[in-house]
Amino acid sequence: MKLNFRVSLLFVLSVFSIARESGAVLPDLCDGHNLFMFFKDRKDWVSARDDCILRGGRLALINSAETHDAIKTHIRNIDELWNAAGGGYWFGLNDRDNEGTYVFEGSAGVELTYHDGWCSEKVGRRIVNQPNNNTAKNPDGQDCAQLWRNNKKKPKYDFDDAYCDNRKGYICEIVNSQDCGSGNLG
């Protein structure tokens, strides 16, 4: 039993050591169980996903108004996070396997149930709602979700489908993190 605890503790410490050495912007955000780590390093969606896995986590699962609002508030309140690299932050939502069916990567196929997070914007006289699967730059369309800054003066950080090969900041989530304690989310 003591050996398993020591091995687990070493793993957790190693993960956080790796996390701190390569680009995490502090402070992180906790919900009491899960640690959300913010990175301004520009990566495409797959590279961001792989980096989160290397850190012992996944791209963030944002599937409730409470989590979305807490993350948006956190970004807006931390000067270093406010101006997102690449205009947004990747998180785990995507429809890469089945167009229009959004699931969270690394979550055993959890589908999006919180639909109020999608961005809408006025373009000229019309309203453009996300996701729109724009194919202007890639015939396969936009399959990966970001928290989109959208408005430079008053950033929204709402959901937007984007081209997966764009390079952006990203948010990793470490599930059941020992580093969170009672948390600070909400």
DSSP per residue, 87-143: GEEEEEEE-SSSTT--EETTTTTPBP---TTB-EEEETTEEEESP----SS-TT---
* H or E, element range at 74: helix 65-77
pLDDT-derived band at 91 (thresholds 50, 70, 90) equals: very high
CA distance 77 to 74: 5
Cβ atoms of residues 58 and 120 within 8 Å:
no
Domain carrying residue 128: 2-174
pLDDT at residue 181, rounded to an integer = 59
CA distance 136 to 142: 10
Identify whether 182 is part of a domain: no
Identify whether 159 is part of a domain: yes
Residue 27 pLDDT > 90: no
Residue 130 pLDDT > 70: yes
State in Å, rounded, how far the first CA of the chain is from the last one.
35
Identify whether 118 is part of a domain: yes
Residue 97 pLDDT > 60: yes
Other beta carbons within 10 angstroms of residue 44's beta carbon come to 18
Supply the pTM of this predicted model. Answer: 0.82
Task: Tell me which amino acid residue 92 is.
Answer: G
Highest-confidence range of 77-86, 91-100, 151-160, by mean pLDDT? 91-100
Residue 139 pLDDT > 90: yes
Q: For residues 142-159, give the mean pLDDT.
A: 88
Residue 170 vs residue 11, higher pLDDT: 170
What percentage of the chain reaches a pLDDT higher than 70? 83
Identify whether 180 is part of a domain: no
Task: Count up the domains in the chain and report the number.
Answer: 1
Sorted by sequence, the CB contacts under 8 Å of residue 164 that are 6+ apart come out as 44, 45, 46, 94, 96, 142, 143, 144
Identify whether 59 is part of a domain: yes
Identify whether 119 is part of a domain: yes
Identify whether 185 is part of a domain: no
pLDDT-derived band at 19 (thresholds 50, 70, 90) equals: very low
Residue 153 maps to which CATH number?
3.10.100.10
Identify whether 181 is part of a domain: no
| Chain center to CA of 72 | 11
* H or E, element range at 53: helix 45-54
Task: Tell me which amino acid residue 146 is.
Answer: Q
Q: For residues 163-168, give the mean pLDDT.
A: 96
Contacts for 73-78: CB closer than 8 Å, 24+ residues apart: 74/29, 74/36, 74/38, 75/38, 75/147, 75/155, 75/157, 76/155, 76/157, 78/25, 78/27, 78/38
